[in-house]
Structure 1
Amino acid sequence: MQKSLALCQRTKNLICSTSFYHSKTPIYGARVMEVQNQAIITESDHRVFRLVDAFVQKGHIYARIDPLQEISSSVPVPLQLHPEKFHINSSDTLFIDGTEMTAFQFAEKLSSVFCGNIGFEFGYVEDDEKRFLLSLLKNKYMLNTDEQRGALEEMLKSQVFDQFLSNKFPTVKRYGGEGAESMMPFFMEIFKQCSIKGVTDVVCGMPHRGRLNFLTGILNFPPELVFRKIKGHSEFPENFKTIGDVLSHLSISTDIQISHNNVHFTLIPNPSHLEAINPVVVGKTRSKQQSKKSGSYSNTGESEVLCLQVHGDAALAGQGIIQETLALSRVPHYTVGGSIHLVINNQIGYTTPGDRTRSSRYATDIAKMIEAPVLHVNGDDPEAVIKSAIIAADYHHEYKKDIFIDLICYRRWGHNELDDPTFTNPEMYKLINNRETIPDKYAKQLIDQGIISKEEVNKIVSDYNKQLNKSYKNMENFSPPIPCFSKQWQGIYQSNRNLTQWDTGIEVPLLKYIGSKSCQYPNDFHIHPHLLKTHIKNRLSKVEEGLSVDWATAEALAVGSLLCQGFDVRISGQDVGRGTFSHRHAMLVDQTSGQIYIPLNELFPNQKGHLEIANSILSEEAVLGFEYGMSIERPDILVIWEAQFGDFFNGAQIIIDTFLSSGEAKWLLQSGITILLPHGYDGAGPEHSSCRIERFLQLTDSSETQVDGDDVNLQIANPTTSAQYFHLLRRQMLRSFRKPLIIASPKTLLRLPSASSTLQEMSSSSSFKPVIGDETVSPQKVTKVIFVCGKHYYALADQREKRGIDDIAIIRVEELCPFPTVHLQGELKKYPKAQYFIWNQEEPRNMGAWSFVSPRFENLVGKKLDFVGRKELPAPAVGIGLLHKKEVENLLCQSFE
């Protein structure tokens, strides 16, 4: 009895949602009884339920979603979903919505909904979401004539644009939209839905396919600029320091006017690593949402800013960054209220047939990991595409979760317009070559329906051709618009030559105040007893004395001072709240309730600056991409990403190579992101020793031969004291420009007394020192100078003291890039009798900073260095403890021979 009651309720929920069933209507000749307001159903009712549920669960498999398959005008009932498969007689009578029909007619009704030109795949979502989606299917979504004409016009313009480029630039790879033109009415419908639902901003990431069509046809991008770019000109004015990017990576930020409302649309520039843009888009979306917080940090702006992700089918199924980005979608501090995903499903990956690009049925099956609904839609049916956009927008607006639109289409010309796809896909392209284009097919449909005339269609084509020809003739006289830092970026400029020397100190009384507040907590808060002694009491005493300020305290002082100045700070990474080495404890956890308390957010009443501690998933690529996206949206937030160990960043190498190191040079996008990479050789083995600093140095545009100032694309530092770290963090936000900063951060130095600093070293009279000279030896006695960076300095200084040596100076190079030429020259002048100059490093000779500093010392500083360090290795460090100790002994002995 209980089982029947539960099943009956589920039956009512499911079938009533689709308006196929009234709870008190006889079904299959059976009488439904009411017992205590609950319906009891018979075995025949179970069969009807199973039939409906089968269509919900599997109807998409039989939907007519592939435009390359010949289909009839009617929607037949699949044999696998025929009523008799569920032991229902086809001729049996049902009463649906008060209408009498046979079971087979009922199945036809279900088939028309679930097996038409949209395949609805959401049988796995939560019950309430499923009911909501099913309720949407009752809507007819009939377009009025203006909407139909508008959809046709956008598709015709896209087709004309591709044909125009083909005629004018026949040898250019443009990655056109031919075969997927129905994406254009999809975008227009999304904008319309945004206007209706109060969305003010859309942030979008999109690969190559149809990008130029979208830019010029809908997003107000000047066609002249496209033509100039094809001709080899820059997309930026000549006086801007930029190297530019390829044609298919162009971007825009513009207002789209819909029904007297403006929707601001940002299409982010993307690299050729297609899906790498997606976490960046999500991060930028969250940052933009936070900028709309209106004084309340809990108001995230999810209803006002939409994240739109566009994918290719093969990349969606094949690139792991998609899984990582989806895994972030519902994690605290990474949510954006879901994204709308559009998959331009070409049914081919480069030239690989679709069935060999994945192991799953659909390219979108990765969506199931977060139970995101998927609508598979036939790209040959623009009106079905528009319907899918409306459903997606309604679902996203209601539940603030991800939803996918799988736009099944094809590429008319292969991977690009110069490619011959018949080498590997002859049958597929035989079908494609014999097909009428989507815009032409839809135009004939509307002409036949009397909605538009052939003359009107020809006029749309003719007018847009004239417009493009006018732009083409005006190309040489067209000046690229001057990029400007507007809105939140006002007051930010391209950097000058001085990246290093900035006043970053703070008055000591304020430092003491911040330090004391950084370890306060409510009276009823149950703090961990170990933290009370090692963290709270120790920090309070050190701050009060102003001595031995360790690394974590210096970080808290830097962050707290920035919060006082109105900046936001975000620290992201795995376990960053406490820190990998249990040193930070920026967030405290109540040992009874689990409540989280962040002391630095309680410095002052009505505090403007906010610290966000984002403990991330076990990901590098997506998380770092997300943080980069956060940083390029707002200059008033210091975004810090900390790797668990230094070389773990290599899981995010694509983000570093294509965004961090070159984003400003390619796209004029500034980022102040700071990356902390724990570094230092202490016997931890190959993967826990080195942050691979050589890789970052190879990515810089620092010159080996010219003293041209210190304006570089990346800042790379390996500081040796907590005060130096303090100044580096503050410097990131106080300048009138933003630059990424890579810090080889410490492990053992976190608690090393010698690496601690005084508050005076962080006071208003102090700043960051690119080079720290040696004050412990008499300059007149020095015959050898050792240059070193990072933690290794302390081992050398300790060994020198043990040996009683007083004629060797040890100079610390705290910042490798920009290379501190002038500072090094100033230090060397102090040692007139020095004859031997050594670069000493822990890393093997084929790693570390050696290959970077050697030519610069010789060409810029005027000194040729000898190398002391480990011999060449295939891995950053050895994994045998005794061998490590022997290497350390040899290294120190060689240094003082």
Structure 2
Amino acid sequence: MNHLKLFVAPLKWHGIKLLEKQDIARRVFLHGQRYVSSGTSEPFLSASNSNYVEEMYYAWLENPKSVHKSWDVFFQNANAGQAYDPHLPDQLERKASFLQSHGLAQTPGKAEKLVEDHLAVQSLIRAYQIRGHHVAQLDPLGILDADLDSFVPSDLITTIDKLGFYGLHESDLDKVFQLPTTTFIGGSENSLSLREIIKRLENTYCQHIGLEFMFINDVEQCQWIRQKFETPGVMKFTNEEKRTLLARLVRSMRFEDFLARKWSSEKRFGLEGCEVMIPALKTIIDKSSEMGIEYVIMGMPHRGRLNVLANVIRKELEQIFCQFDPKLEAADEGSGDVKYHLGMYHERINRATNKKITLSLMANPSHLEAVDPVVQGKTKAEQFYRGDTAGKKVMSILLHGDAAFAGQGVVYETFHLSDLPSYTTNGTIHVVVNNQIGFTTDPRMARSSPYPTDVARVVNAPIFHVNADDPEAVMYVCSVAAEWRNTFNKDVVVDLVCYRRRGHNEMDEPMFTQPLMYKQIHKQVPVLKKYADKLIADGTVTLQEFEEEIAKYDRICEEAYTRSKDNKILHIKHWLDSPWPGFFNVDGEPKSMSCPPTGISEDLLTHIGNVASSVPVKDFKIHAGLSRILRARLEMTKNRVVDWALAEYMAFGSFLKEGIHVRLSGQDVERGTFSHRHHVLHDQEVDKRTCVPMNHLWEQQAPYTVCNSSLSEYGVLGFELGFAMASPNALVCWEAQFGDFHNTAQCIIDQFISSGQAKWVRHNGIVLLLPHGMEGMGPEHSSARPERFLQMSNDDSDAYPEFSEQFEVSQLYECNWIVVNCSTPANYFHVLRRQILLPFRKPLIILTPKSLLRHPEAKSSFDEMVSGRSP
């Protein structure tokens, strides 16, 4: 039997030096051995009891009076390093006999039972922390288990007889037990009766909130969550907060009711059954604003989108209502999109904090979750341009449906970007509208995991499940989620377990496929009435005040409806989610139709070439093979010629001098798949020491970001597309490892890049670098599929620009994107330069070479790149 082994893992919040703890642990271990009787097979201080002793020890360190006197004496002697006394066991035995004879001490068996009972209570507490969510009352309908399993874990005390699992009995319920430091259910008390312990654990973990967090491998983070939810009395709201919550519920529900009355036969994908989502989002935004957030970027599917636009983003109601008018004429270019796909950008004052806040809801296609990486990319860009490296000013919120969150692979890809240095947004708050159905598909057929949110476990994101018919529980969870993100800069998931009062859309009949569920839904009292009745009953509001709040919002909707009839023209640009102030004229058109020459001075070419051929950091040892490459670059610069890699270097470098940020992302782009780029140098003698020469071109220059991505195309291309949305004054490039690999990102290409401007009047200058060439690598490595891009190219067949000096630029403006196959390095240089110098932004698809990267004939002279020259 192993004896006591304690205190080898430091707990951060105690601030104890590891070496000091190890020394104390050694002394406590030796001290404990004195009390081990050689005649017992299971010593009192054995390894099986070490966890409990460790808890007592940490409690004693914080406050010696918080533990029993016997533990206090034990730890004092251990810390003092008391010398071993061979007569001590005999002395203790005589003392114990004396105490027992006078009824002043327990027998060794009773003492061991006492410790075992304390250990059992500690295990019981841990069981609730780990598995309490399995029995939480999460379903508002009361008919489904949120985790798809009606099994009750045997270590949760749902009945008295289950105490036997821990070796406890009903007679132990009123015994008082010392609480471990890994729980906060005691509040200011250090010990509680077993009955009270179970009661408080059930209140915390088994009511309307289900917490999944014990898988997180950071003890401090687990302690933080425990304190937020276990501390008695934490979930209390003032009367003013309750009244605000009620008013927000009124707006959420009456908005849906108003649309249903006015346009009963229109699809709108209403929020009925999860009306609490509106106050939930507003709580997150209020709390985040309070902690310093100035800009919130959101992405969401169709469900409840109009309600979010109206009551969270605060889009003018008449602009929403006029979307239902089929006679409205479009004033802008393009096809437009259905109203529940449109985005919005709005700056306003947050009433809860009286601070300015900017809200952006990204437009998105019907392809569920496709917008996730786009939101993250735009958030990263906004943080980058503000110097917000810690994410304290800009944040993202992503809303999901339960079926899509579990089913769409891009969710997983996006999560795996969350902690990568060049992609992190310092934490995203995910809100899942878990209506327990996917169109007509039952959850048991839609996922293999217990919860739709289990994908979040891969990044140690805590998951807070909450019954959406308990508005106060939802508000508290959302407030904690905002604090978590601000404290730890990590993702967090709020799972709103709710229901869908109507079909998938308002014209759909759900009774065909979910008859029993919808029989219950038809009986379900709306959350607004439930909460209003509660507040009226406790005197927080009166019935008259409640009715006046309803009448007030109904009047606002009616007045907006009247004004909406005056709108005869639909302006899609009013729904723009990413405006570029000052880039276009007041009508949203280019300020000119001309493009300046794309060449640069020879001095500039020479300077960039020299830096590209050097190591601008002292005492930096590079690979011998790389030294040869740099010498070859220097020789080319002296001879006034460039190859493909050097032409790219010069185009990028010229932008940096002009203050244009350049970002290059993709798999292995730092070196280049074909080992031609080498934009990041690695010290051969110092691990992880790197140098990016392009960031050493000038003292005053824009930064250059080159970053190897995760092995993902869909997620990473979506991210870079979002990054390019934030500003027109940046060259954002994504490179496929081989051209054919872009097809795993086809959804981003089809739904955002090729058609985004037509649907949402959204310009974007993303650059796709696609290696192309039939060079013996087989059918999957040979072609960037240019025919697909050409097939998706589009312009107005009825409009043909007049021949003039502006003809070429006007022709490019009429296209949805630009597809090029450069034949020389100089072509490549000019095409990249033109991408920024054009008075508008179009996606640029470049078919780049493979063998030509090193072909001795594939070189261009400086003469083809100097000032005055263009492609």
User: TM-score, normalization: structure 2?
Assistant: 0.82
Counterpart of 1:340 in 2: which secondary structure?
A: strand
Picking from 2, 5, 22, the partner of 1:3 is 5
Q: Which of 206, 210, 221 is the equivalent residue of 2:304? A: 210
Which residue among 271, 277, 283 is the counterpart of 1:177? 271
Q: Distance in 1 between matches of 2:600 and 2:467?
A: 62
Change (3 A) 1:677 1:525: same
Equivalent pair of 1:5/1:38 in contact (CA under 8 Å):
no
What is the DSSP-based 3-state SS (H/G/I as helix, E as strand, rest coil) of the residue aligned with 2:359?
strand
Q: Tell me whether 411-420 or 465-474 shows the greater mean CA deviation.
A: 465-474
- Match among 457, 462, 468 for residue 551 of structure 2: 462
Residue 119 of structure 2 is aligned to residue 78 of structure 1: no
Residue matched to 1:162: 256
1:603 to partner: Cα distance: 0.8
2:215 aligns with 124
Q: Counterparts of 2:800 and 2:579 in 1: how far apart (Å)? A: 35
Aligned partners of 2:63, 2:121: CA distance in 1, in Å?
13
Alignment-derived partner of residue 534 in structure 2: 445
Call closer, same or farther: CA 1:28–1:224 in 2, change over 3 Å. Answer: farther
Residues 256-655 of structure 1: matches in 2 within 5 Å? 256-257=349-350, 258-293=352-387, 300-478=389-567, 483=574, 489-492=581-584, 502-521=596-615, 522-533=617-628, 535-547=629-641, 549-593=642-686, 594-605=688-699, 607-655=700-748
* Aligned AA (1:385): V
Q: Deviations over 1:236-285 (max 9, x none)?
A: x9543232110111221112423211221111111111200000000000
User: 1:523: how far off?
Assistant: 2.9
TM-superposed deviation, 1:647 = 1.3
Mapped to 2, the partners of 1:300 and 1:148 lie a distance apart of 36
Distance 1:706 1:9, change over 3 A: farther
CA distance in 1: counterparts of 2:282 and 2:56, whole angstroms: 33
Give the equivalent residue in structure 2 for 1:744.
847
- Letter paired with 1:526: K
CA-to-aligned-CA distance 1:119-161 (integer Å, 9 cap, x gap): 0100111211101111112261311111111111111112111
Residues in 1 aligned to 2:708 and 2:845: alpha-carbon distance in whole angstroms: 20
SS in 2 for 1:683: coil
SS of the residue 1:34 aligns to: helix
The whole-number CA distance in structure 1 between the counterparts of 2:723 and 2:203 is 44
Q: Identity rate of aligned residues, in percent? A: 38
Contact 1:311 1:344 in 2 (8 A): yes
Distance 1:30 1:300, change over 3 A: closer
> 1:716 is paired with a residue of what secondary structure?
strand
What SS is found at the alignment partner of 1:765? coil
Distance 2:224 2:56 in 1: 12
Q: Is the 8 A contact 1:680 1:747 kept in 2?
A: yes
Query: Does structure 1 retain, via aligned residues, the 8 Å contact 2:299–2:375?
Result: yes
Residue 578 of structure 1: CA displacement?
0.5
2:204 counterpart (113, 127, 132): 113
Once the two structures are TM-superposed, the CA of residue 53 in structure 1 deviates from its matched residue by 0.9
Following TM superposition, by how much is the alpha carbon of 1:30 offset from its aligned partner in structure 2, in angstroms?
A: 8.9
Give the drift of 1:500. Answer: 8.8
Partners of 2:7 and 2:427 in 1: CA distance: 35
Give the conservation status (yes or no) of the 8 Å contact 2:664–2:707. Answer: yes
Q: Is the contact between residue 590 and residue 839 of structure 2 (CA under 8 Å) also seen in structure 1?
A: no
Shift of 1:233: 5.6
SS in structure 2 at match of 1:688: coil
Query: Is the contact between residue 601 and residue 866 of structure 2 (CA under 8 Å) also seen in structure 1?
Result: yes
When residues 487 and 498 of structure 1 are mapped into structure 2, their CA distance, relative to the original with a 3 A threshold, is closer
The answer to whether the 8 Å contact 1:17/1:132 transfers is no
User: 1:242 aligns to what?
Assistant: 334
Q: 2:382 is matched by which residue type in structure 1?
A: K
Amino acid at match of 1:672: G
Report the Cα distance in structure 2 between the residues aligned to 1:10 and 1:384, rounded to whole angstroms: 33
CA-to-partner distance for each residue in 1:576-630, whole Å, 9 max, x for gaps?
001000000111111111311100101111x231110110011000000000000
Structure 2 counterpart of 1:91:
171
Over 3 Å counting, the alpha-carbon distance change for 1:309 and 1:752 in structure 2 is same
Q: 1:654 to 1:100 in 2, by over 3 A?
A: closer
In the alignment, is the contact (CA less than 8 A) between 1:310 and 1:341 conserved in 2?
yes
Q: What residue number does 1:719 align with?
A: 822
Paired residue type of 2:75: E
- Given the alignment, which residue of 241, 246, 266 partners 1:152? 246
What is the identity, as a one-letter code, of the residue corresponding to 1:150?
Answer: T
- The residue type paired with residue 257 of structure 2 is Q
User: Conserved in 1, the CA contact under 8 Å of 2:130 and 2:213?
Assistant: yes
2:133 corresponds, among 60, 72, 76, to 60
**Given the alignment, which residue of 215, 218, 228 partners 1:136?**
228
Q: Structure 1 pair 2/727, CA: closer, same or farther in 2 (3 Å)?
A: farther
Q: Determine the C-alpha separation between the residues in 2 that align with 1:263 and 1:407.
A: 25
SS in 1 for 2:134: helix
Task: Name the CA distance, whole Å, in 2 between partners of 1:120 and 1:632.
Answer: 36
Q: 1:366, CA displacement in angstroms?
A: 0.3
Name the aligned partner's letter for residue 34 of structure 1: F
699-708 vs 718-727, greater mean Cα deviation? 699-708
SS at match of 2:345: strand
Structure 1 residue identity aligned to 2:130: Q
| 1:233–1:403 CA distance, 2 compared to 1 (3 A) | farther
State the distance in 2 between where 1:24 and 1:83 align: 29
Partner of 1:474: helix, strand, or coil?
helix
Residues 1:499 and 1:488: Cα distance change in structure 2 (over 3 Å): closer
**1:390-433 superposed Cα distances (whole Å, 9 cap, x missing partner):** 11111111110001000000100021111111111111111111
Looking at structure 2, the residues matched to 222 and 17 of structure 1 have their Cα atoms a distance apart, in angstroms, of 57
Change (3 A) 1:326 1:10: farther
Residue 758 of structure 1 deviates from its aligned partner by: 0.6
1:536 aligned partner, one-letter code: L
Contact kept? 1:364, 1:404, Cα under 8 Å: yes
Backbone CA RMSD of aligned residues:
2.9
**For 2:507 and 2:302, how far apart are their aligned partners in 1?**
15
Unaligned runs of 5+ in 2: 9-46, 82-111, 145-151, 180-185, 802-810
CA contact (8 A) 1:91 1:102 kept: no
**For structure 1, which segment, 718-727 or 31-40, has the greater mean C-alpha deviation from structure 2 after superposition?**
31-40
The residue aligned with 1:51 is 124
Q: Is the 8 A contact 1:569 1:611 kept in 2?
A: yes
Preserved CA contact (<8 Å) 1:61 1:119: yes
Give the residue type in structure 2 aligned to 1:621.
Answer: Y
Q: Residue in 2 aligned with 1:34?
A: 75
Paired residues in the alignment total: 754
Contact 1:62 1:78 in 2 (8 A): no
What is the Cα deviation at residue 753 of structure 1?
A: 2.5
Give me the whole-angstrom Cα distance separating, in 2, the residues matched to 1:284 and 1:80. Answer: 54
| Structure 2 residue 836 is the aligned partner of structure 1 residue 733 | yes
Distance 1:575 1:634 in 2: 25
Counterpart residue number, 1:808:
none
Cα deviation, residue 24, structure 1? 5.3
In the superposition, relative to structure 1, how do residues 14 and 462 fare at CA in structure 2: closer, same or farther (>3 Å)? farther
Pair 350,206 (structure 1): closer, same or farther in 2 beyond 3 Å: same
**In structure 1, what is the Cα distance between the partners aligned to 2:655 and 2:723?**
17
Give the AA of the match of 1:624. Answer: L
Deviations 1:374-396 (A, max 9, x none): 00000000000001011111111
| Paired residues of 2:313 and 2:360 also in contact (CA < 8 A) | no
Residue segments in structure 1 that go unaligned for 5+ positions in a row = 294-298, 769-897
